[in-house]
Structure 1
Amino acid sequence: MPRVSEEHLAARRRQILDAARTCFLREGFHATTMHHVIAEAGLSVGAVYRYFKSKNEIVKAIAEEAFIEIDKRMGAASQREPAMSVLEFAEHAISFIDAQSGPQGAFRMALPVWAEALRDPVLGEFVNGKFSKMRGHFILAAKRAGVSNPEAAGTVLFGLIPAFGVQRLLTGYPDKETFFAGIKVLMEG
Structure 2
Amino acid sequence: MARVSQAHLDARRRQILDGAAVCFARNGFHATSMQDVLKEVDLSAGAVYRYFSGKEELIAAIVSEVLGQVRASFEEASSRTDPPPPDVLVCEVLGRTLAAKASLTVDGKPAFPRLVVQVWTETLRNDELSAVLSEGYRTVHAAWVQIVEAYQAAGTMRADVDPDHVARTMIASVLGFIAHQSLFGPAPVEVLGDGLRALMSVPEPTPGP
Pairwise same-fold verdict (TM > 0.5): yes
Following TM superposition, the consecutive aligned residue runs of length 4 or more in structure 1 with deviations greater than 6 angstroms are none
- The structure carrying a bigger helix percent of its residues is 1
Give the residue type in structure 1 aligned to 2:76.
A
Bigger RCO of structures 1 and 2 (CA < 8 A, at least 6 apart): 2
Q: State yes or no: 1:30 paired with 2:30.
A: yes
For the 8 Å contact 1:101–1:108, the answer to whether it is kept is no
Residue of structure 2 equivalent to 1:85: 85
Residue of structure 2 equivalent to 1:16: 16
Q: State yes or no: 1:138 paired with 2:138.
A: no
> What is the SS of the residue equivalent to 1:145?
helix
- 1:87-166 paired onto structure 2 within 5 Å: 87-96=87-96, 99=99, 103-104=109-110, 106-146=112-152, 147=157, 148=159, 149-166=162-179
Residue of structure 1 equivalent to 2:51: 51
TM-score (norm 1): 0.82
For the 8 Å contact 1:100–1:108, the answer to whether it is kept is no
Separation in 2, partners of 1:10, 1:163: 32
Separation in 2, partners of 1:101, 1:45: 25
Separation in 2, partners of 1:121, 1:87: 33
For the 8 Å contact 2:52–2:58, the answer to whether it is kept is yes
Q: Which runs of 5+ in 1 are unaligned?
A: none
Residue of structure 2 equivalent to 1:184: 197
Q: Report deviation, 1:144.
A: 0.3
Separation in 2, partners of 1:17, 1:176: 24
> What is the SS of the residue equivalent to 2:50?
helix
Which protein is bigger by CA-based radius of gyration? Answer: 2
Q: Report deviation, 1:108.
A: 3.7
Q: Report deviation, 1:57.
A: 0.7
Percent identical among aligned pairs is: 31
Q: 1:101 to 1:170 in 2, by over 3 A?
A: farther
Separation in 2, partners of 1:14, 1:174: 26
Give the residue type in structure 2 aligned to 1:62.
I
Instruction: Decide which moves more: 50-59 or 15-24.
Output: 15-24
Q: Report deviation, 1:11.
A: 3.4
CA-atom RMSD in angstroms: 2.7
TM-score (norm 2): 0.75
Residue of structure 1 equivalent to 2:185: 172
